[in-house]
Amino acid sequence: MIKAKNLLTFKTGKLDSNAAQEGGIYPFFTCSQETYQINSFAFDTECVLLAGNNATGVFPLKYYKGKFNAYQRTYIIEPKNGDSLDIRYLYYYFRPLLTAFQQQATGATTKFLTLKILNNLDVMVPQLESQKKIAAILSTYDDLIENNKRRITILENMAEEIYREWFVRFRFPGYQDAEFEKGIPKGWNYEKLEDVCVVIKRGVSPKYSDEAGRLVINQKCIRDGRIDLSKARRHDSKVPEEKYIQYADALINSTGVGTLGRVSIVEFHPMKITIDSHVTICRADEKKIAPIYLATTVSNLQSYFEFMASGSTGQVELNRSLIAGIKVLVPKRELMIEFSSEINAIFEQKQTLQKINDNLAKTKEELLPRLISGKLSVENLDIQFPPNMQEEGAAL
396 residues of the chain, pLDDT tens digit each: 899 999 999 999 999 988 999 899 999 999 888 899 999 999 999 999 999 888 777 899 999 999 999 999 999 999 998 788 999 999 999 998 988 888 888 887 788 888 899 999 999 999 999 999 999 999 999 999 999 999 999 999 999 999 999 999 999 999 999 999 999 999 999 999 999 999 999 989 888 888 888 899 988 899 888 898 888 899 888 888 889 999 999 999 998 777 888 999 999 998 889 999 999 999 999 999 999 999 999 999 998 888 876 554 444 788 899 999 999 999 999 999 999 999 999 999 999 999 999 999 999 999 999 998 888 888 777 666 666 555 545 566
Beta bridge partners of residue 208, listed in sequence order: 235
* DSSP assigned state of 255: B
Diameter of the chain measured on Cα atoms: 77
Helical (H) or strand (E) element with 303: helix 302-305
Map residue 334 onto helix, strand or coil.
helix
| pLDDT given at position 94 | 92
Length in residues, the chain: 396
d(CA 318, CA 75): 39
pLDDT of residue 344: 96
Distance of alpha carbon 48 from alpha carbon 88, whole angstroms:
8
**Residue 6, helix vs strand vs coil:** helix
Amino acid (one-letter) located at 320 = R
Residue 310: the pLDDT is 57
Q: Pairing between strand 184-185 and 327-330?
A: unpaired
Calculate the alpha carbon distances from 342 to 154, 176, 204, 268, 291 in Å: 15, 20, 33, 16, 13
Q: Which of helix, strand or coil describes residue 326? A: coil
Q: Is-contact 206 279, C-beta < 8 A?
A: no
Are 4 and 50 a contacting pair, CB within 8 Å? Answer: no
- 47: enclosing H helix or E strand: strand 43-51
Of 202, 173, 201, whose CA–CA distance to 185 is shortest? Answer: 173
